[in-house]
Amino acid sequence: MSSKDHAGAGAIADATHSDPFSFLGMHAGGKGEGFVVRAFFPEADGVEIIDSAAGKRVSKMRRVHKEGVFVSHIKGRRERFPYHYRVQHGENLEEAGDPYRFPPAFGELDAHLMAEGTHFESYKRLGAHPWTLEGVDGVCFGVWAPGASRVSVVGSFNRWDGRRHPMRLHPSCGVWEIFIPGIPEGTFYKFEIKSGDGRLLPLKSDPYAFRCERAPRSACIVEGFGSYQWRDAEWMANRHQANRHDAPMAIYEVHMGSWRRCPEEGERFLTYREMADQLVPYVKDMGFTHIELMPINEFPFDGSWGYQPIGLFAPTSRFGAPDDFRAFIDCCHEAGISVILDWVPGHFPEDEHGLAEFDGTHLYEHSDPRQGRHMDWGTLIYNYGRAEVANFLLSNALFWLERYHIDGLRVDAVASMLYLDYSREDGQWIPNAHGGNENLEAITFLKRMNELVYERHPGAFMVAEESTAWPMVSRPTYLGGLGFGYKWNLGWMHDTLRFISKDPAHRQYHQDDITFGLLYAFHENFILPLSHDEVVHGKGSILGRMPGDKWRRFASLRAYYGFMYAHPGKKLMFMGCEFGQEREWAHDESLDWHLLEDKQHKGVQNLMRDLNHLYRNAPALHQRDFDHEGFAWIDCHDHANSVLSFMRRGNDPEDLMVIVCNFTPVVREGYRVGVPSAGFYKECLNTDSSLYGGSNVGNLSGLAAEAEPMHGHPHSLYLTLPPLATLMLRPAGAPAPMSAK
């Protein structure tokens, strides 16, 4: 055995070879001696080289190292040829391809784009891809780990032995890759990584894995993009109509693990396909236009609700396979429902199989905890200034829009990304280059993300959960904004819930809470959220905030929902709120659907259905949500009676809706409200209707305006205001809303 064979064999057996592709596989023998072929098969009793084209044995290999390194010198051949191995284990023979005979699948352009941070389809090269290379089927693996001294693919195909399949390094970009022939889809795998200083790290999950084991197991599963046949071509061509600023947007926020469970089978989760059969018809019947899914990217801990993801490219296996999730999206689109995915680029958990110290260095996160750690959540913060990290996240955002036809991404915890001192005391954060608290790298990332999404997927949209007064969040980047399409109005949520939770007798002293939002309502493209955050951590349910006896609590809730749907801004409601869930949300239990046997809960659900249909079909309630000319106060100063009145207008100047809210349990007879024109005003909605569990006080089908000036208008309505209720009235001459069905 040559000295090269001897030294190389030892390094291969010890998994310390710096360049296994230079040793294993077929290489020129030198001096016209043909070729030398080297292979590593631990525990093999014998190995033969087979000419794959001819199907004949070329030679029997010689063991040169006790751990299973085999060598054969092939003389008389001048041209390389396709080959594979026949490996003997006792009396068993198996055929095995040689990963080390194939050229790189990761090209120079890929390496250049990765290093530059502009490989926005990097998911097509990194991860595990079923591949055909030189006519041979297998899987091409790729992973970014520039600080590693060795990376190996391990899995069920090589007995999780990190010596078997060490990968090829592309030094220019830090990507390791290998094509392993013969591996089928469904194969389990991870990466074994040795750090630059020689430490063998815990096995790592593939950051680009398209499918993972169900937690608490953490192996990745080879999953191609598949041959799923989408049925939503018409939807995709026209979905921009559903997501425009002047379109109705009534969002139903869903946690897939607890919307409904299967009690007949031990309270198991519903599958994606079962959710398609049950959730989608329910949402359609209720009149919601969009479903927003709390994060479904693979995550290890149920109690994080998905907001601490590890497998950003994998829909969680809790509910089925990737194609099952595609079928769910397809079903939504066939029903005319847009799908928003909660997306978490702000942080990631420290689980040892995840991104933390991925290659033995702080690769994805900052090394300094003052920059790289969320103190509140015990999670790590992405290093947005590193081109490859930003590239990873940008590629992921585009992946969901491209490969799963997601219609919108709601970006979680944007404020935590924007501010270097987010939830930190003095001395716990590092100022930026200008001495400020703005995270300039995160800002650049967010702007680029939004630009890419709207450029490449113009029918999709982006939503920011941003809890501060950061300016121009939902304004284009060319105007100096962050570039989001919409922003959650968390201030509105907190202020109005604070108001409605007061005893009706005290609301007169807090009316500014419910009107304050109109001072800034048109500064951003707002979504009004009643989200999951408001029904957890001891806050109780939305219904639980309502004071008084049962009748007053439900009446206040209905009045509040009516006010919400009349207020400028798109709407979002967390599951269960639409029927008055009594208790606080629990992620590990089903919603309390049995409550619908109670007429008050059923009444709230009936109201929500009618609100959604009226909102969708009355342009005055949605067309000019972000235009101050679409809203006008009639009277916001009647604190003594806790009554508010205002108007909403659509694009048609004649399209008008008059809204009056009475936030006390007192019936007010003869309450005069000014209106701009004469004629009959139809009572379109009354939250006190008996259909909704109310007392049925109101104005029957409507009433005529009288020529008596009021509130600066030439006419007025002489109304009966029901107790704890919201009224919506429309002039009979105005454009009629389309059918609610």
Reported as a single tens digit per residue, the pLDDT across 229-239 is 999 999 999 99
Q: What is the mean pLDDT of residues 250-276?
A: 96
Rg (CA), the chain: 31
Query: How far apart are the C-alpha atoms of 541 and 576, rounded to whole Å?
Result: 9
Q: What is the mean pLDDT of residues 74-98?
A: 92
Average pLDDT, the chain: 95
Please name the residues in contact with 476: beta carbons below 8 A apart, sequence gap of 6 or more.
Answer: 483
Specify whether 402 is catalytic.
no
Structural element, H or E, at residue 693: none
* pLDDT on residue 225: 85
How many Cβ atoms are within 10 Å of 478's Cβ, its own excluded? 9
Specify whether 302 is catalytic.
no
Q: What is the mean pLDDT of residues 467-487?
A: 97
pLDDT at 617 over 80: yes
Antiparallel, parallel or unpaired: β 175-181 and 250-254:
unpaired
Q: What is the mean pLDDT of residues 560-586?
A: 98
pLDDT at 87 over 90: yes
* pLDDT on residue 739: 42
Query: How far apart are the C-alpha atoms of 159 and 153, rounded to whole Å?
Result: 11
pLDDT class of 29 with cuts at 50, 70, 90 = confident
Please tell me the number of Cα atoms within 13 Å of 472 on its side-chain side.
11
> Taking a C-beta distance cutoff of 8 angstroms, is the pair 683, 699 a contact?
yes
Residues facing residue 616 across a β-bridge: none
- Among 206, 223, 412, 441, the one annotated catalytic: 412
Q: Which domains does the chain show, CATH number per domain? A: 3-97 (2.60.40.10), 108-221 (2.60.40.10), 233-619 (3.20.20.80), 627-731 (2.60.40.1180)
Structure confidence by residue, pLDDT tens digits, 485-520 = 999 999 999 999 999 999 999 999 999 999 999 999
pLDDT class of 740 with cuts at 50, 70, 90 = very low
pLDDT at 609 over 60: yes
Beta strands in 546-667 (DSSP E): 570-574, 631-638, 643-649, 656-662
* Structural tokens at position 636: 């916001």
Q: What is the mean pLDDT of residues 601-629?
A: 97
Q: What angle do CA 481, 487, 488 make, to 5 degrees?
A: 155
Structure confidence by residue, pLDDT tens digits, 425-472 = 999 999 999 999 999 999 999 999 999 999 999 999 999 999 999 999
**Coil, strand or helix at 193:** strand
Proportion of the chain above pLDDT 70, given as a percent:
98
pLDDT at 591 over 70: yes
For 123-162, give one letter per residue: b (16+ CB within 10 A) or e.
bbbbbbbbbebeebebbbbbbbbbbbbbbbbbbebbebbb
pLDDT class of 375 with cuts at 50, 70, 90 = confident
Query: How far apart are the C-alpha atoms of 76 and 34, rounded to whole Å?
Result: 6
- Among 98, 110, 357, 465, the one annotated catalytic: 465
Q: What angle do CA 604, 608, 610 make, to 5 degrees?
A: 115
pLDDT at 206 over 60: yes
Q: Is 28 exposed, middle or buried (0-12, 13-18, 19+ CB in 10 A)?
A: exposed
> Taking a C-beta distance cutoff of 8 angstroms, is the pair 24, 8 a contact?
no
pLDDT at 294 over 70: yes
Q: Is 92 exposed, middle or buried (0-12, 13-18, 19+ CB in 10 A)?
A: exposed
Please name the residues in contact with 182: beta carbons below 8 A apart, sequence gap of 6 or more.
Answer: 95, 96, 97, 137, 138, 157
Q: Which of 246, 241, 239, 240 is nearest to 622 (CA)?
A: 246
pLDDT at 741 over 50: no
* pLDDT on residue 1: 53
Please tell me the number of Cα atoms within 13 Å of 150 on its side-chain side.
25
Residues facing residue 339 across a β-bridge: 291
pLDDT at 32 over 80: no
**Which has the higher per-residue pLDDT, 738 or 435?**
435
Q: Helix count (H) and strand count (E) of the chain?
A: 14, 37
* pLDDT on residue 736: 56
Q: Output DSSP code: residue 549.
A: S
Query: How far apart are the C-alpha atoms of 83 and 52, rounded to whole Å?
Result: 5
Q: Which of 216, 256, 214, 215 is nearest to 590 (CA)?
A: 256
